[in-house]
């Protein structure tokens, strides 16, 4: 289960300029290596001294290794080179890197156990020989072996090895087979999901709401087994969204949630290779894929940080969502920066402050309605008192338009026109437009200056039942929820 060395001359060029004794890795780098959230969660469970034996490292700290207890009689042998993050594990996983490699790197990044300098085991040396053997320059005749710098120079000068067409075809066939197997597993899991939804409706919404946590957990586990991990996470969070509603709204909320699951399952069945739908069901494109995609939408504009939402998920990960508002007149109105990290890592500091403005370039994930994005470049802080943009559509259109493209969507960001937030006689809180044409219930408690104030603009998230206020502008400045 070798991770490909990649373009070896390029790697060596970088190493020549930045490498020094005492190579280190941090937890952020471990998180970025993980292929999906389930791998990261599994690695967190393996980052415990009791799981490991034979932990060691090279004198310069560049090589680390260890043996991790698995389900078999013999432990898995795990090794990594911190200079280029090449790694290997003897487990049968098809993920690169697997959870054992991530666990080993985690131990090192957090200094959970000491990686005492020791003689390199033969199984680590064999791996290193295989990694470097294909591109290593051989000394001519009886000449003494070249030094490290000379060897690297020889490796740079060596012509590229021509790949055997049969090997390439074989790998392509294996990759296609794995892709077909994954797709088949997802489709089987979605069949089980639709049957489960039908069972909940047939047995009645009241028993479903009373037992929603246990029932959702069971079908979520089935979806994880069927490689539909993202959809499983959505269902695992469904009880929290449902039980946050007033008791009288929960039956309607349950019907809406279950209906969206069926729509998403059938959309995947119709177009299983669609990147946007696949992202909502199985897995997301990597950060590198989006940043290197020449077709990815990129927007360079002034942005305002609206708010940050930090939530601990049931799978042990923390989601950190930063909402941005585009202050220009072109490009997507909103952007969502989304990051995940293990809850065991503790609270992270944010690089953004609500209300700050900056000029920056964002790369958006492919979508009919671009929203999730990556920060490519952050240039300067934008010091301006400009008003927020005028909403370019009525609130009713802003609510319905996204659902026509993605009827399974959960959160819809809105920029609302002039209005007011107030409490009615029953204690419920509402946002009401200045012309009285639209009234929307508010999920968050409105206190102090936010409640009763005339709001010039309001940025909020509509979740299908309630508004969550992110920030608002008033005649005397910007305010946020308490």
Give the pLDDT confidence of 244-296 residue by residue, as tens digits. Answer: 888 888 999 999 999 999 999 999 999 888 888 988 898 777 788 888 888 88
pLDDT at 322: 92
Give bridge partners of residue 298 from the DSSP assignment. Answer: 363
pLDDT of 4 > 50? The answer is no
Query: How far is CA 149 from each of CA 61, 155, 476, rounded to the nearest angstrom?
Result: 19, 10, 65
Residues listed for the chain = 482
Angle at 7 between CA 4 and CA 8, to 5 degrees: 90
Tens of pLDDT, residue by residue over 335-347, are: 999 887 776 666 6
Read off the pLDDT band of 449 (50, 70, 90).
Answer: low
pLDDT of 325 > 90? The answer is yes
pLDDT of 140 > 60? The answer is no
pLDDT at 430: 85
Q: How far apart are CA 299 and CA 129, in angstroms?
A: 45
pLDDT at 176: 76
**Helical packing angle, 8-18 and 148-157, nearest 10°:** 150
Indicate the pTM of the whole model.
0.64
Q: DSSP characters for 135-148?
A: TPPPPPTTPPPP-H
DSSP code, position 116:
-
pLDDT of 376 > 60? The answer is yes
Collapsed DSSP state (helix, strand, coil) of residue 238: helix
pLDDT at 273: 83
pLDDT at 198: 93
Q: What are phi and psi of 376, to 5 degrees?
A: -85, -45
pLDDT of 171 > 50? The answer is yes
Q: What's the chain's average pLDDT?
A: 79
**Beta-carbon count within 10 A of 299 CB:** 19
DSSP code, position 110:
T
pLDDT at 382: 55
């Amino acid at each position: 289960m070798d991770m490909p060395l990649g373009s070896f001359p390029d790697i060596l060029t970088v190493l020549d300029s930045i490498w020094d004794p005492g190579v280190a890795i941090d937890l952020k780098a471990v998180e970025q290596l993980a292929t999906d959230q389930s791998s990261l969660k599994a690695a967190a469970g393996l980052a415990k001294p009791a799981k490991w034996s034979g932990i060691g490292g090279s004198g310069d700290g560049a090589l680390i290794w260890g043996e991790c207890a698995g389900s078999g009689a013999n432990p898995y042998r795990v090794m990594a080179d911190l200079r280029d993050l090449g790694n290997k594990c003897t487990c049968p996983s098809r993920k690169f890197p697997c959870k054992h490699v991530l666990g080993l790197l985690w131990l090192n990044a957090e200094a959970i156990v000491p990686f005492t300098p020791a003689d390199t085991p033969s199984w680590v040396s064999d791996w290193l020989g295989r990694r470097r053997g294909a591109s290593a320059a051989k000394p001519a005749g009886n000449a003494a072996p070249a030094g490290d710098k000379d060897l690297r120079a020889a490796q740079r000068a060596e012509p590229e090895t021509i790949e055997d067409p049969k090997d390439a075809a074989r790998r392509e066939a294996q990759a296609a087979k794995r892709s077909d197997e994954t797709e088949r597993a997802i489709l089987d899991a979605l069949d089980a999901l639709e049957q489960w939804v039908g069972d909940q409706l047939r047995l009645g919404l009241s028993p479903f709401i009373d037992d929603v946590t246990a029932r959702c957990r069971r079908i979520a586990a089935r979806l994880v087994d069927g490689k539909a991990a993202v959809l499983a996470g959505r269902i695992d969070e469904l009880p929290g969204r449902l039980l946050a509603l007033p008791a009288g709204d929960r039956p309607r909320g349950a019907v809406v949630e279950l209906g969206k699951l069926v729509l998403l399952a059938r959309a995947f069945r119709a177009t299983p290779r669609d990147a946007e739908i696949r992202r909502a069901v199985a897995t997301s494109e990597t950060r590198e894929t989006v940043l290197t995609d020449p077709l990815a939408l990129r927007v360079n504009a002034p942005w305002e940080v609206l708010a940050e939402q930090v939530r601990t998920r049931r799978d042990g990960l923390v989601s950190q969502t930063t909402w941005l508002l585009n202050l220009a007149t072109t490009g997507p109105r909103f952007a969502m920066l989304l990051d995940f990290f293990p809850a065991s890592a503790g609270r992270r500091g944010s690089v953004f402050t609500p209300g700050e403005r900056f000029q920056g370039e964002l790369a958006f994930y492919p979508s009919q309605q671009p929203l999730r994005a990556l920060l490519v470049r952050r240039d300067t802080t934008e010091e301006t008192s400009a008003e927020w943009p005028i909403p370019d559509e009525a609130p009713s259109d802003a609510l319905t338009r996204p659902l026509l493209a993605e009827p399974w969507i959960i959160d819809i960001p809105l920029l609302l026109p002039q209005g007011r937030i107030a409490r009615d006689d029953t204690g419920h809180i509402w946002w009401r437009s200045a012309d009285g044409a639209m009234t929307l219930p508010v999920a968050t408690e409105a206190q102090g200056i936010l409640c009763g104030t005339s709001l010039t603009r309001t940025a909020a998230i509509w979740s299908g039942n309630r508004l969550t206020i992110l920030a608002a502008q008033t005649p005397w400045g910007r305010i946020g929820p308490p």
